[in-house]
Amino acid sequence: MSPAMVMAAKTKQNDNLESQYQKGVKHLCENGINKVPKKYILPVSDRPNMKDRELINVNKQNLKLPIIDFAELQGSNRPQVLKSLANACEQYGFFQLVNHGIPSDVISSMIDVSTRFFELPFEERAKYMSSDMQSPVRYGTSFNQNKDDVFCWRDFLKLICNPISDVVPHWPSSPVDLRRLVATYAKETKYLFLMIMVSILESLGLVGTTENKTEEDDILKDFQDGSQLMVVNCYPPCPEPNLTLGMPPHSDYGFLTLLLQDEVEGLQIQHQDKWVTVEPIANAFVVNVGDHLEIFSNGKYKSVLHRVSVNSMKSRISVASLHSLPFNYMVGPSPKLVNEENPRGYKDTDFSSFLEYISSCEPKRKNFLESRKLC
């Protein structure tokens, strides 16, 4: 073979591999692998640090997130719980929400139908592949598969959930009960989000007195009409989990994310300059502050970097429900939280500037939020 022919053959082989990877990790695993392909191997400095993990295992109690009891928040202890809530949003950017009132069968059905979706034959899942970020349904792999140099060990199904009656007919028709179960779950999480948001606004001193009742109603109305995106993540077992990640370090764009994880560990958050693993609590939600809430609170509440590690034993499913204001709304620091002591720290932003941002660069780390900061 001439050098040109060798080159051509190599390029073809690479193209073949590339198109294999675009089909996702589940597909890759179904074809049987015992090593992580080069495409998924992170540079040493970005790999999950096993030393960190050992450290965490020794001090297990250190990685417990603050727990907020939703039922208690609605009772006579509300002022106390609001303080814990504020503290969690300031110090961790994360908390576990228990006693939230969503029936456990709604939760188990959501995990169950997600599992069954990813067990469908590849051809069935592939029907929903799309590079259109605005599509009401999008099946894909990695973090940003058109941009990532190194791929992540994750496949996903993204479902836009608003307005619910318009979008449901676009969602996958298989498994047959997916639309019904996910719609129920979406409505329940939306209601819960609104209830948590009322508490968050109160904890920031923005609502909760009789004088600002109309203001409260106005903000709530905006959130009621707000955006909701559901991301169902599937992390298949990985033969060499130290070399790759399920998701790279990132922050979430919206006000709040309600994350449901099955019983398998994987979520890690950055806390006091260390990566710590969040212990799953059955039936609880991991709730985190997103970029929009950090901006809205003028930096009081923190949108914290998090990532996902994978393991060699078990497949993991998680469902993230991301909530914000309507897509075309501007988010800026609440005027009441800007004063001489706390000057305005961020530019106004909206969802389309975020989309533009992630389509124009690799959305790693906290670049978007950084780009909104006034120095």
- Give the footprint of ligand OGA on this chain (CB under 6 A): 231, 233, 247, 252, 259, 261, 266-267, 306, 308, 318, 320
- Length of the chain counted residue by residue: 375
Per partner kind, with CB cut-offs from 5 to 8 A, the member of Ni ion, ligand OGA, none near residue 318 is ligand OGA
d(C-alpha 232, C-alpha 257), whole Å:
13
Provide the 3-class DSSP secondary structure of residue 346.
strand
Minimum separation from the CB atom of position 257 to ligand OGA (A) = 6
Minimum separation from the CB atom of position 266 to ligand OGA (A) = 5
> Which among 18-26, 31-39, 132-140, 250-258 is the span making contact with Ni ion, rule CB under 5 A?
250-258
Per partner kind, with CB cut-offs from 5 to 8 A, the member of Ni ion, ligand OGA, none near residue 161 is none
How is residue 23 written in tokens?
Answer: 């089909």
Question: 68 exposed, middle or buried (CB, 10 Å; 0-12, 13-18, 19+)?
Answer: buried
Per CB under 5 A, the list member of 148, 155, 202, 252 interacting with Ni ion is 252
Minimum separation from the CB atom of position 156 to ligand OGA (A) = 8
Q: Taking the C-alpha atoms of 139, 145, 150 and 152 in order, what is their torsion angle to the nearest 10 degrees?
A: -20
Q: Which is nearer to ligand OGA, 226 or 266 (CB)?
A: 266
Per partner kind, with CB cut-offs from 5 to 8 A, the member of Ni ion, ligand OGA, none near residue 319 is none
- The residue number whose beta carbon is nearest to Ni ion equals 252
Spatial neighbors of 105 by CB under 8 A, at least 6 apart, are none
Phi-psi region of 15 (alpha: psi -120 to 50; beta: other; left: phi over 0): alpha
Q: Which is nearer to ligand OGA, 92 or 204 (CB)?
A: 92
Tokens 């609590």 belong to 281
Minimum separation from the CB atom of position 3 to ligand OGA (A) = 45
Q: Which is nearer to Ni ion, 168 or 231 (CB)?
A: 231
Spatial neighbors of 195 by CB under 8 A, at least 6 apart, are 70
d(C-alpha 350, C-alpha 330), whole Å:
5
Q: Which is nearer to Ni ion, 231 or 337 (CB)?
A: 231
Spatial neighbors of 101 by CB under 8 A, at least 6 apart, are 70, 71, 192
Minimum separation from the CB atom of position 128 to ligand OGA (A) = 17
Q: Map the footprint of Ni ion across residues 92-151, applying CB under 5 A.
A: none
Minimum separation from the CB atom of position 154 to Ni ion (A) = 11
Q: Which is nearer to Ni ion, 315 or 321 (CB)?
A: 321
Spatial neighbors of 115 by CB under 8 A, at least 6 apart, are 317
Angle at 123 (CA atoms; ends 166, 119), nearest 5 degrees: 85
d(C-alpha 287, C-alpha 97), whole Å:
7
Per partner kind, with CB cut-offs from 5 to 8 A, the member of Ni ion, ligand OGA, none near residue 308 is ligand OGA
Minimum separation from the CB atom of position 261 to ligand OGA (A) = 5
* Positions in the binding site for Ni ion (CB under 5 A): 252
